[in-house]
Amino acid sequence: MKSLTTFLLLFISMSMCNAQTDLEIGSVYIKRAEQSYLDNEMGKAREYFDKAITYIKEINDSRVARIGTILSFDIKDYTKAKILAQRYFELEQEKTSEDYFEMLELYVTIDEAIKQRAIEEERNRLEQLKLAKEKRRLDSLTNLWHEKSQKFYIEIDSIGDFNKYNLAIYKSKDYLGIMDDYGRILMKADTFPHAIAYDGYIIFMNDLERPTRLFCFNSKTQEKFLLPDVTAFNPQAYDYGEIMLPRANGLLVTYPKNCKDVVVFNLKSKEFRAIEDKKELLKNLKKNDIIDKYDKDLNVRIEKQWYAIGNSVGGSFYALFNEDKELHGFISASDGRVYTSDYYSSFGGFCDNKFQVIENGKTIWMDAEGIKYYSNENLSGAYSGTTKFVKTDQGKFKILQKNNGKDVLIKGNETLHLLEDFIEERSK
């Protein structure tokens, strides 16, 4: 029993010694923290204070509470600073000291800071709610715009230049069609892969080299029709052959294979044009010394060579074919000059005193006197509208048009403001 009593007394004594040692160590660090504070070394002061607290398990000294309050206030930890300040006032017995009044002033400042922070936090909370609400509104409008905008996108591969009739050739899946500047389809792209356009006419072809089907679209009247089969012009013709540019007077000239003639089709009257009385024509050519003679088969001799005279491309120019049914060239019934096909391979229809001529594989223009021109006015005209077809990153096209100085999406008779303007309009 005596041994047990001795052990307990020793244990209590050691515990009291250790506790006293912790307080003393903590006191040293508090003193260092106070000195660092006086030296304006706030970082070092906080470091010492934090070490002191590891030894001081409970703050029972107003001096510790005071320095802790000051250091917590310095880093704007107002909640901790207020708790320590309250502990200071609980422990401090001297209510008239200068330190007491400084702490009282600091406590008021801490309390004001806490209230101000609460006001700011509430304001921030309300602002965040407002921003979240606005974001939901903007997201809703953005989603609505994207939903509405889908109908304004056009899935085509490309679109050409618009003419003065506000029409352009567009391409979709290797076929060509016609669209106006509001995105309305006037001819669907599902049959013809090739086309040429000039003077307001657009000629679609099923093949570029040897077309057997031609389809005409009149930009001015928007009339469209399929041309007759070339065999209606000549049963021996395989195809329409080379297609020249259509002209404003409706003349379309083509060069079919295996046919001793040139096709001249009038796009206005929708009929093939041919010499009405070839014998009478040859009589006049003989009379005017344009040809040497002609035979009973209505072949003509020019400078000791025999030719078959073919259709007129206008301007009193007639095609000449050799005995192998090959195009030799063109003869002018006015002055007898022959323009051989080894240099002038093809003549187009005569209109406004000019032919389209293929010279060495390139288009030039020539008048009835043989004078060459390297340009000609295309009566399809230039587009004067404000519509723009813009290809998007997704490969689709959107149509933009000016409205009160701002771009809007259009499709047919419908319009849609761009996203930014759409949101602004819905926010008024």
Task: State mean pLDDT over 89-96.
Answer: 90
With vertex at residue 28, the alpha carbon angle to CA 27 and CA 33, rounded to the nearest 5 degrees, is 95
What confidence score (pLDDT) does residue 107 get?
Answer: 93
Residue 167's CB is within 10 A of a number of other CB atoms, namely 25
Q: Which residue has the higher pLDDT, 418 or 428?
A: 418
pLDDT at 16 > cutoff 70: no
pLDDT at 7 > cutoff 60: no
Kindly indicate the confidence band of residue 30, based on its pLDDT and cuts at 50, 70 and 90.
Answer: confident
What confidence score (pLDDT) does residue 4 get?
Answer: 40
Q: What is the mean pLDDT of the chain?
A: 91
Which is it for the CA torsion 101, 104, 109, 110, positive or negative? positive
**Residue of 314, 291, 306, 425 whose CA lies nearest to 367:** 314
Model confidence pLDDT, tens digit, residues 116-129: 999 999 999 999 99
Name 322's Cβ contacts closer than 8 Å, sequence gap at least 6: 305, 307, 328
Model confidence pLDDT, tens digit, residues 238-288: 999 999 999 999 999 999 987 889 999 999 999 999 988 999 999 999 999
Task: State mean pLDDT over 320-342.
Answer: 91
Identify the three-state secondary structure at position 160: coil
Kindly indicate the confidence band of residue 1, based on its pLDDT and cuts at 50, 70 and 90.
Answer: very low
Name 228's Cβ contacts closer than 8 Å, sequence gap at least 6: 272
pLDDT at 102 > cutoff 80: yes
Distances (CA, A) of 172 to 166, 222, 361: 19, 21, 29
DSSP states of 281-350:
HHHHHHHTTSSSEE-TT-EEEETTEEEEEEEEEETTEEEEE-TTS-EEEEEETTT--EEETTTEEEE---
What confidence score (pLDDT) does residue 5 get?
Answer: 39
For residues 381 and 165, what is the distance between their CA atoms, to the nearest angstrom? 8
Q: What percent of the chain has pLDDT over 70?
A: 95
Task: State mean pLDDT over 80-104.
Answer: 91
With vertex at residue 151, the alpha carbon angle to CA 150 and CA 153, rounded to the nearest 5 degrees, is 70
Q: Which two tokens stand for residue 54?
A: 């590891």
Model confidence pLDDT, tens digit, residues 357-401: 999 889 999 999 999 999 999 999 999 998 999 999 889 999 999
Model confidence pLDDT, tens digit, residues 191-220: 999 999 999 999 999 999 999 999 999 999
Query: Do residues 320 and 329 lie in contact, with contact meaning Cβ atoms separated by under 8 Å?
Result: yes
Which is it for the CA torsion 162, 164, 167, 168, positive or negative? negative
What confidence score (pLDDT) does residue 15 get?
Answer: 45
Secondary element (H or E) of residue 420: helix 419-426
For residues 306 and 290, what is the distance between their CA atoms, to the nearest angstrom? 13
pLDDT at 69 > cutoff 60: yes
Task: State mean pLDDT over 336-351.
Answer: 93
The secondary structure of residue 205, as a DSSP letter, is: E
